[in-house]
Amino acid sequence: MPAQDDDAIDALYAGAFEDFVPARDALVKELRAARQRDEAAAVRKLAKPSRAAWAVNRLVRSHPDEVEALVEAGETLAASQEQLLEGADPAVLRAAAEAARALVDALAGQAEADGPTRDKVRATLHAATVDPEVRAAVRSGRLTREASASGFGGLEALIASGHGQAAAPSRKRPAAKRKARGRRAPEEKPPPGPDPREVRRLRDALRRANEAEADAESEVDGARRALEQVEATITARRRDLEDAETTLAAARTRRERAEAAAAALDASQN
């Protein structure tokens, strides 16, 4: 796709939430008029972002440095997880996760959203720190659906994991206390994490629900615009009818006057 068309698509995702569909349709018409049919078809398929995804896209443009810092924090977090598997200090992972969480909270607080929508923005930014695919989508500024980490708590789980691994040695009871009780005290175990299969199932369900919501929003926008066009047409036709009735009334008056004049003339001649 030519660079100017790519810029036009970026403008769609940078614009006002309510303007996406009409702006997209206008771009489609412009491309068709320029005989760029393949490009027009591609633009026509662009999905309108959900409200939360739109707010994230706006953050990418209004706070680019902070978003880039969030992306880098996610990459640092991934590297820290790899280091932990190789025996690194869990405090490294914990520090990376806490830094990422601070960026998420700061950005979410500046989003053009509130209530449940802001919660979805925060969840999406959380997901970007732990999921490379979400991170790339957020970075593009063309996000169409909100996302989520494991139970909206990916960072919290990593922070808790870091604490748990750092504190593990101190969870064993002292030997003297074990002997005094006459038996070996079992070591405390951290609570099991979420089932990965259940997490994937919930993520898929959330993704499908978000897609269905966005598709429904697009359909509502299209139906509303079609209704407005029909109402405008009806108003215009009603004015045409009123003008025609006025013209008919004037013609009828002229005809009646002509008939009266002709009758008077006949009567005078007789």
What is the distance between the alpha carbons of residues 19 and 238, in angstroms, rounded to a whole number? 29
Q: Domain for residue 201, yes or no?
A: no
| pLDDT class of 198 with cuts at 50, 70, 90 | low
> How many residues in the chain?
270
Q: What is the pTM of this model?
A: 0.56
Is the pLDDT confidence value at 54 over 90? yes
Q: Domain for residue 194, yes or no?
A: no
Q: Are residues 56 and 162 in the same domain?
A: yes
Half-sphere exposure of 15 toward its Cβ, with a 13 Å CA cutoff? Answer: 14
Is the pLDDT confidence value at 122 over 60? yes
Q: Identify the weakest region by mean pLDDT among 98-112, 160-174, 186-200, 228-242.
A: 160-174
Q: Are residues 152 and 236 in the same domain?
A: no
Q: Domain for residue 196, yes or no?
A: no
Domain range for 31? 3-44
Q: Are residues 152 and 225 in the same domain?
A: no
Q: Are residues 105 and 212 in the same domain?
A: no
Predicted local distance difference test score (pLDDT) of residue 80: 78
Is the pLDDT confidence value at 42 over 90? yes
Averaged pLDDT of the chain? 79
Three-state SS at 89: coil
Q: Which residue has the tokens 């003008």?
A: 243
Q: Domain for residue 117, yes or no?
A: yes
Q: Domain for residue 218, yes or no?
A: yes
Q: Domain for residue 181, yes or no?
A: no
Is the pLDDT confidence value at 89 over 60? yes
Q: Which residue has the tokens 């959203």?
A: 113
Q: Are residues 65 and 16 in the same domain?
A: no
Q: Are residues 31 and 77 in the same domain?
A: no
Q: Are residues 30 and 70 in the same domain?
A: no
Q: Domain for residue 97, yes or no?
A: yes
Q: Are residues 17 and 75 in the same domain?
A: no
Q: Give how many domains the chain has, as a whole number.
A: 3
- Taking CA atoms, 209 is separated from 17, 131, 213, 239, 258, in Å, by 20, 19, 6, 45, 72
| pLDDT class of 97 with cuts at 50, 70, 90 | confident
